[in-house]
Structure formats: C-alpha cells, structure tokens
C-alpha cells in the first residue's frame, strides 16, 4: 500500500491509465495525471472507433498517448504508476505483470479518497444506490443542514453514478463541502487496497449480482462490506454506518458493527417515511420509497428537518434509465428502467405499478438466478417480452412456475411470453399487445453487454424506439 499525499506525487512520473472506458473515469484519471505533471499513456482493449466520444475529450491536450485495440506488455513494465479502471479484474494478467515489476497500481477512486479534503458520504448496494445517492445530494443541497454546529458548503455528487468528475474536481472541493459518492463493489475492492472508506457509509440492500466476476454471493458481499470494514473509527468524530432494516445482510451487519466504539449505527426502512413526506414524492414503487428512507436517514444525520425534506422533494425527478417515464402514447405509459440489471431490480419495477404491466427483460448473462423473477412475471405481468442471452432462461423460469402450479402459459388469462430477436422487435411486440391504461417497462434484470455497450446506450435506444411509435388516429 502506498499513500498519495498530494497531486505532486505524479509530477515527472510515467502513468499508464488502463481502461479509458465510456463513463468518464479513464478520462478523469488521465487528465488529472497529465495536469499533475505526469507523462500519460492510455491503454484499452477497445478500438479507437468505439472510444471516439472519450477520445474527443482530450482535444487540445498535448502529450497524451493512446494505445488502443489491445494491451502492450511493455507499457506495464515501463510505467511508474498504473491507474486501473474498476472493471479490470484484480487478477488481470497485465496487472500481475506490473506487480512482478514492482510498479505502483492504483485507481481513480483510491487517489480521490487519499486526496479529498471534504467528508465523503458513500452509498452502495445491489439496487437503488444511484437514486439514493442522487436523492441524498438533492436533500442536502435543498435543506438547511448542520451537524455539531458545523455548516457545510457545496454538495458534490459523483462516483459510479457519473456527474461531476472526481480527480479533476479536487482543486475545487473545500474542506467544508460534502461529497456524495455512489460506490460499486469493484470500486470498494480497490479502496480495500488502501484501506479507505467513507466517513458516512450506507448500504441499500444486498442480493446476488456480478456472479460472473465473484463466483459466489458471499464473495460479492465481502466486496460490499469494505464500505464499513475500513471506516476510520474515532470516538470524537464517529464513523456513521447506515443499514436497511428490511435487508437480511444489512440487518446482520447492523448487529455486527453496532458494537464498535467510534461508530454510530443507524437503521432505516420505508416505514420511516411519514405520509406527509410520502405525498411530496413522485417516484413510484416500494423500492423507491426505501431509497427515500435511506436518503432521509443521511439528511437527518446532517441536521435536515422534515419540513425542509418535504418541501424539496417535488423538485426531484427520476434519474435517466431508472423507472423513467419516456412517453404516453395511445394511452400506454412507457418506462425506461434499463439500469435494472438484476432480477431484484426488475421485480421492483413490476411491483411499482398497479396498472397491467408488460415487461421487456433479458440481456447479458451474469450467471444470476431468475426463479423469483419468473414467479413474479407469471403472477403480476400482463405479458413478458424477452430478448438477449438470458431470454430462454427467464422464459424457462416463468414456465417452470406455471407448470408447478398446474397451469400452462395459454391457460393464464392475458399472460403471454414472447421472445424477440432485438430490442426493436421487443418494442414492436409490446406495441401490439399493449392497450390503453397499460404500462410497458424496459426492466432487463440483466446487464447490456450482449447487445449494447452499456445500460445507457440500451436505455437511449429504447427511448428512441418508443418515441417513433405512431399515435393511433
């Protein structure tokens, strides 16, 4: 483990940014290192044409080299420092090569935690972390808040959610600001390498995810637990750990960590939200209510009162790709929930609506189980239109539940299962099936990588397809 105490650490060094990516993390890391005086090379296995949007962000910036389309072993042998993208597995052969040559390996998130002068609020979980992070920042920005007679300045929102860059914003972050970060399990794995964690940490929930990387749910949970494991405990300025009382793992960790001196443990649940506050909140479904309860728990810790929370909520809108209303056409409401990349996320979408619901699901196979989703679709959905690598698995889960109940798909009134070759075909099938008063929701329960670069591209394509539907005359 090494410590970065200032940006001057990078001055005069050769820095290799591994993974330019499409979400801005690689761009941020490369620009920061360049601005700190490093000689920067960016390497990515994707070709330049796939990374054109990211590459354009370097226009006017001299002396940054791009080695794209593959990785070169010599780059990892010669660089002083490698800044690895969170998506790169820790056991990657090129990182192992760098270790054998005793190179310093770090990440965007590690550097940020070592250099950020302001308190950090970290939010993680399997589902709801983006909305919870955005809600938290919104409440802190729009309510009067103070803790221990300390007033805070600007509120920053970043991390896995995107928004503000991390490293290139460091020069603007003041010690009396607050930083709200959405943190993925991959980022928390990286933070464990430098034994860093947020001063205030919240877990939304835990259900199986990313088993294609972790192998077991236990290993996935272990990565998430780093957000609490490495919090700095101080009885004069305690760490704050916040858990979902309705989540099995979260409830267990509350009991585990509440015994620590120098730590405040807090539980939240959707039942904590008063009817008055709930009435000011537009986002549908029980899952979004739990997200609100989580954000309120943080806001109250920082001194926000209920009147301020209530008055600020009407301005908060659904994030893109998270139960986002795209259009109402021919009496049918179309929702983009492309960020729902787990079965639990898709179940939350189904439970969000009282209207007859047609779900479009399926995508890249992360080796998750679809049994419960199959049951929920069979019980609650008007129809399911399935696409991508997992279409067959989800269909099998639906049919298995129906068979177990002694039913066949044809025997279930208005419940149909269709397989689509593409998202465009799925939208066409949904258009044919939907009637006025129905909801159609893209809630894939899977990642996007079988057909799209990321969930955002998938969601934008869905929105484009929906907006091309012709109203009936």
- CA 128 – CA 123 distance, rounded (Å): 9
Using the structure block, give the residue that is written with the tokens 């808040």.
145
Mean of pLDDT over the chain:
93
146: pLDDT confidence band, cut at 50, 70 and 90?
low
**Residue 415 confidence (pLDDT):** 58
148: pLDDT confidence band, cut at 50, 70 and 90?
low
**Residue 236 confidence (pLDDT):** 94
Convert the pLDDT of each residue in 344-386 to its tens digit: 999 999 999 999 999 999 999 999 999 999 999 999 999 999 9
- CA 449 – CA 462 distance, rounded (Å): 15
Class of domain 324-467: alpha beta
Identify each DSSP E strand in 337-469 by its residue range: 357-361, 383-386, 416-419, 439-442
Class of domain 12-106: alpha beta
Domain definitions of the chain by residue range: 12-106, 111-315, 324-467
Q: Is 166 helix (H, G, I), strand (E, B) or coil?
A: coil
Q: Is the pTM of this model over 0.85?
A: yes
| Lowest mean per-residue pLDDT among 154-163, 231-240, 251-260 | 154-163
* CATH hierarchy code of domain 111-315: 3.40.1190.10
pLDDT surpasses 80 at 419: yes
pLDDT surpasses 70 at 105: yes
User: If you average pLDDT over residues 80-107, what whole number do you get?
Assistant: 96
Parallel, antiparallel or unpaired: strands 14-18 and 39-44: parallel
Contacts 24+ apart (CB under 8 A), 434-437: 434/330, 434/332, 434/358, 435/331, 435/332, 435/356, 436/330, 436/331, 436/332, 437/331, 437/332, 437/355, 437/356
- Residue 366: both structure tokens together: 């992360």
414: pLDDT confidence band, cut at 50, 70 and 90?
very low
**Of 364, 363, 359, residue with least CA distance to 347:** 359
């Amino acid at each position: 483990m090494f410590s970065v105490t200032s940006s001057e650490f990078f001055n005069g060094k050769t820095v290799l940014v591994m993974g330019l990516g499409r979400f801005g993390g690689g761009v941020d890391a490369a620009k920061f290192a360049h601005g700190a005086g490093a000689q920067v090379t960016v390497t990515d296995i994707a070709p330049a044409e796939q990374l054109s949007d990211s590459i354009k962000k370097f226009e006017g910036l001299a002396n940054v080299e791009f080695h794209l389309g593959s990785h070169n072993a010599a780059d990892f042998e010669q660089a002083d420092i490698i800044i690895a993208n969170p998506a790169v597995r820790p056991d990657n052969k090129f990182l192992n090569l760098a270790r054998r040559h005793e190179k310093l390996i770090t990440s965007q998130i590690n550097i940020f935690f070592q250099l950020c002068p302001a308190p950090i609020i970290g939010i993680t979980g399997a589902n709801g972390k983006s909305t919870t992070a955005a809600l938290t920042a919104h409440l802190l920005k729009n309510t009067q808040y103070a803790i221990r007679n300390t007033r805070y300045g600007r509120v920053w929102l970043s991390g896995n959610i995107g928004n503000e860059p991390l490293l290139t914003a460091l020069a603007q972050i003041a010690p009396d600001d607050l930083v709200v970060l959405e943190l993925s399990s991959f980022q928390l794995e990286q933070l464990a390498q430098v034994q860093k964690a947020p001063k205030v940490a919240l877990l939304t929930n835990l259900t199986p995810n990313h088993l294609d990387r972790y192998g077991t749910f236990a290993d996935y949970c272990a990565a998430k637990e780093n957000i609490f494991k490495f919090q700095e405990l101080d009885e004069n300025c305690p760490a704050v750990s916040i858990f979902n009382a309705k989540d099995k793992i979260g409830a267990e960790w509350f009991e585990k960590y509440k015994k620590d001196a120098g730590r405040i443990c807090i539980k939240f649940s959707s039942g904590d939200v008063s009817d008055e506050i709930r009435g000011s909140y537009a986002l549908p479904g029980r899952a979004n209510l739990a997200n609100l309860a989580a954000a309120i728990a943080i806001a109250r810790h920082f001194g926000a009162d209920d009147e301020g929370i209530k008055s600020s909520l009407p301005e908060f809108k659904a994030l893109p790709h998270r139960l986002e209303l795209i259009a109402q056409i021919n009496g049918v409401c179309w929702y983009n929930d492309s960020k729902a990349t787990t079965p639990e996320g898709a179940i939350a979408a189904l439970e969000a609506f009282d209207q007859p619901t047609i779900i479009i699901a399926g995508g890249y196979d992360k080796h998750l189980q679809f049994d419960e989703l199959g049951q929920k679709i069979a019980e609650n959905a008007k129809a399911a239109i399935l696409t991508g690598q997992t279409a067959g698995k989800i269909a099998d889960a639906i049919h298995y539940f129906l068979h177990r109940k002694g039913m066949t798909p044809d025997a279930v009134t208005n419940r149909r299962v269709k397989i689509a070759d593409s998202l465009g075909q799925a939208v066409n099938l949904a258009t044919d099936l939907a009637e006025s008063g129905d909801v159609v929701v893209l809630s894939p329960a899977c990642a996007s990588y079988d057909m799209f670069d990321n969930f955002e591209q998938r969601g934008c394509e869905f929105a484009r397809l929906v907006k091309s539907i012709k109203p009936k005359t």
